[in-house]
A and B are shown apart, each in its own frame.
Chain A
Amino acid sequence: MNTAMKKHILLPLIALFIGLLWTGISYFSVQAQSPTPSDNEVNAVAKNLYCPVCENISLDVCPTTACAQWRALIREKLAAGWSEDQIKDYFVAQYGDRVLSTPPTRGLNWLVYILPPLIFLGGVYLVYRVLRSMKKNKPAQITPPPGESDQTDPYFSQLEAELEQHRKRGE
């Protein structure tokens, strides 16, 4: 069997295995849920959802009564066997994208993810240009800036120390 064929067979096999595993896990995790899900299970879902009324507070820590009711809703949905994604979708349908901790990647929202890296790359390019111009102009000899002592350079500090001793002796 050549390598290309091996790939052809192996990939679906791996996918099938992962698929089975995932189904198994989700089956057992649904089975493992007690009739009333624990606070921790509710919080695990609520942590990734944002309060639809308060600004920037995740649902698991929001102290308002409204949020307590939403947590109760999550508990109901969990008890009914819903998955975390289903509950998320339900909240998005009810209250809009703002309940998600980050904007979903579609439409205008792409801007939020693309713009900062683009600007950063622009900065990288600027720095690159500065450094490149530096290489072109590289002088044959480097002279330290006048009037500044630099202690990181051991020779320089040694020189400085000797000069100081010399001065002391001179006095």
Chain B
Amino acid sequence: MVSNFGFGALVITLVVSVYGIFAAVYGARKNSLAWVESARKAMLLTFPLISLVALSIIYLLVTGDYQVQYVYNVTSSTMPLYLKVTALWGGQAGSLIFWSWLLASFASAVTLRKWDRDREFLPWVIVVSLVTLVFFVGMSIFFENPFVRFWQTAGGSQAVAMFQPTGATSLVPFDGRGLNPLLRHPGMVIHPPMLYLGFVAFVIPFAFAIAALITGRTDDRWIRVTRRWSLVAWLFLSLGLVLGSRWAYDVLGWGGYWAWDPVEIAAFMPWLSGTAFLHSVMIQEKRGLFKRWNMILIVLTYSLVIFGTFLTRSGVLSSVHAFSQSAIGPLFFGYIGITFAVSLALLLHRWNALRSEGEMHSLLSREALFLLNNLLFMGILVVCFWGVLFPLISELFTGQKVTVGPPFYERSTGPLFAGLLLLMGVAPLSAWGHSTVKTLGKAMWKPFVVSLAIPVIAFVLGVRSLPALLAFWLCAFVAFITLYEYYRGVAARIRRSEENVFTALWNLASRNRRRYGGYIIHIGVVLMALGIIGIELFQTETQGTIPPGGQMNLGNYTITFDKLDIFDTADGRNVARAVVSVERDGKYLGQLYPRRDYYYDSQQPMTIPGVRSTMEDDLYVLLVDWEPISSTGVTFKVYHNPLVNWLWVGGFVFIFGTLVAAWPDKDPESVRVRAAKRKMAASGVQSAD
């Protein structure tokens, strides 16, 4: 019943969306406000409709209607309520609906804004949003229907279909298979929505870009209107990536946070092009340059968003075989290909109108350095894209499967990331339009000299690795420059307006939140880089089997195996939990509880590390193996991860900086009006006095 209702709502969504596209195009062509308004209403209607679809799925998940295949695949009766609800994005079919839901909500929110100055954009923004929605909803209806059910046919065989085949009866499994245990983690509950919010929000700037190309209004208005959307998209995407890394660190049990897995890279690629876009649009806003390039970047980001959505859930890129068998693989690629080609055709159509208004004047100007920044981001993107795609190409042409693993990505992107860090230090000091070695050197030499102390101190403390020393210097250089910039700004305000430090800091940041938010983001990146350097260059590990009371050493640390308990839990797990004591240089620090949970319903084990976490390092203990009813002992794997917590701290700082930069500003017009009002009010008060 609820399945039929949900499916019906889904079909109506498709119909309404298709109508909305035609109404918008017709309205734009005939210049008819009534038709455009009708299209806008259609757009607004998609949100409640898709909400009904999503709520139907959630109802089925929570009530445990296992006749529905999706519910059977992702839930089981022992799962807690919050996991049953969030199982909406625990599988492919539900994820696609969730995606559509978010898109409908964002696109509806956009159509609710005041369009006075940008009325010509409206129909085309609706068209782009609805075309995207039609693709996803169509995919859900025809290929990844979350409402298909199990049936027992008259012949006694089992069938999966949306509607009851003639003569068939309902087949209701006793219990579901349960969510993949790896996904039963708070990080995994929040991580996909964050990523999807980021993905979906990038559709909005893309829609405006296409609207600008179609209407020929190719000034930077589309960028100004969508600036905040881009930042919000970027914020959520960054948050999704950080949470995903944290989840990997906590759950996957290999002592790391990032494995250059195609699924991770799929989420990382739109972030790369989006970051390049965020920097590059500033050049257009300030100097009127690179209009074509910004269009290319946002089109690329949109394509990568669709590619990422497809890759993160489907897994069909793992082999040519899986790809050719899946219906949605070719469809996704077809959609990406067509939208990319159409966007490029539009871009070529407006190529001349998108000529740069200004010219670059200096090799060291901010715009020139931002151009280099874009080059490096694109370099990393090419490496990632090619690394993900190559195994498929290799298999297609030679039949030989290959692995493109972390060493490939680390070696190719390492220097590019270092270059980006360096630019992050230098670029904020250069001026728009013109900078010289002299002006830059003058602004830079003090933090530069101070930063040299850091690798020297590291060397004295025993660090001998050249890449590590260089990386530490880079981090110090960027951090000191950024802090120095803050210091100069605050000092100037204190001198000028006699404010105290905190007021000065607050006013400085609120006067140009984009810039100072950006600086906070840069500090966040430096902190994250510290964590990455720590774990990538200084991680050590050891593995061994020890009997109860036995000890293992790693660096200064000693772990003692105290005991192992094996027991069943009420929520359907068999838990093997070891207790180990940790000492450092002979000093007792506490106990850790590495464990292995075996999920009966999905028949999958999950390794949960015992971690002792400080800002200096993490001691990360894994329970690898044990012999039941035997005293030979237990096998532990122990990782020592120096500085890794700075990665998470940096993540927080990064997100905070993005919030500062993206926090809703009062509309420029209304600010002006309000300022005028305030002035009037003030003069009124004065005259009354």
Contacts and interface: CB of A to CB of B under 8 A. Distances in A.
Interface of A: 38-40, 43, 50, 55-58, 61, 63, 68, 96-103, 107-109, 111-112, 115-116, 119-120, 123-124, 127, 130-131, 133-134, 137-139, 142, 144-145, 148, 150-153, 157, 161
B402 A98 contact: yes
Contacts of A120: 375, 378-379, 382
B431 A116 contact: no
Contact of A97 (B288, B402, B434): B402
Given A39-B635, A102-B404, A138 B361 contact: yes
Contacts of A102: 403-405, 407-408
A124 B375 contact: yes
A49 B686 CA distance: 79
8 contacts: A40-B542, A63-B607, A119-B379, A131-B363, A139-B361, A142-B361, A150-B431, A153-B431
Contacts of B408: 101-102, 112
A152 B607 contact: no
A142 B434 CA distance: 8
Given A98-B401, A120-B382, A138-B361, A127 B286 contact: no
Contacts of A43: 541, 543
Interface stretch (B130-138, B252-260, B571-579): B252-260
Interface in B593-618: 605, 607
Given A97-B401, A145-B358, A103 B261 contact: no
A153 B435 CA distance: 9
Interface pairs A-B: 5 shortest CB-CB: A61-B254, A39-B543, A101-B405, A134-B360, A103-B402
B163 interface: no
Contacts of A97: 400-403
A40 B540 CA distance: 11
Interface of B: 253-255, 259-262, 286-288, 318, 358-363, 368, 371-372, 375, 378-379, 382-383, 386-387, 390-391, 393-394, 397-398, 400-408, 412, 428-434, 443, 489, 492, 496, 512, 515, 541-545, 605, 607, 625, 635, 637
A123 to B, nearest CB: 5
B490 to A, nearest CB: 12
Contacts of B318: 55
B650 to A, nearest CB: 25
A66 to B, nearest CB: 14
A127 B430 contact: no
Contacts of B368: 131, 134
Contacts of A127: 371-372, 375
B172 to A, nearest CB: 32
Given A55-B261, A123-B375, A111 B390 contact: yes
B390 A145 contact: no
A38 B434 CA distance: 62
Contacts of B635: 39
A42 to B, nearest CB: 8
Given A103-B394, A134-B368, 11 more contacts: A56-B259, A63-B607, A98-B401, A101-B405, A103-B403, A111-B390, A127-B375, A142-B434, A145-B288, A152-B428, A152-B443
Given A148-B286, A152-B443, A116 B402 contact: no
Nearest to A157: B492
A134 B375 contact: no
B495 to A, nearest CB: 10
A65 to B, nearest CB: 10
B112 to A, nearest CB: 30
B378 to A, nearest CB: 6
Nearest to A156: B431
Given A102-B405, A130-B371, A123 B379 contact: yes
A138 B443 CA distance: 24
A60 B363 CA distance: 48
Contacts of A150: 431-432
A130 to B, nearest CB: 7
A152 B432 CA distance: 9
Nearest to A158: B492
A133 B371 CA distance: 14
B260 to A, nearest CB: 8
B83 to A, nearest CB: 22
A61 B255 contact: yes
A156 B391 CA distance: 54
Nearest to B442: A154
Nearest to B398: A108
Contacts of A96: 400-401
Contact of A152 (B287, B429, B544): B429
A13 to B, nearest CB: 29
Contact of B287 (A100, A145, A153): A145
B382 A116 contact: yes
Contact of B404 (A39, A57, A103, A145): A103
Contacts of B286: 145, 148
Nearest to A102: B408
B383 A116 contact: yes
Contacts of A55: 261-262, 318
Contacts of A107: 398
A98 B402 CA distance: 4
In this complex, the member of A39, A50, A97, A116 whose beta carbon has the largest number of chain B beta carbons within 10 angstroms is: A116
Given A50-B403, A102-B404, A127-B371, A108 B543 contact: no
A34 to B, nearest CB: 13
Contact of B403 (A99, A130, A137, A142): A99
A123 B376 CA distance: 9
B405 A58 contact: yes
A68 B607 CA distance: 15
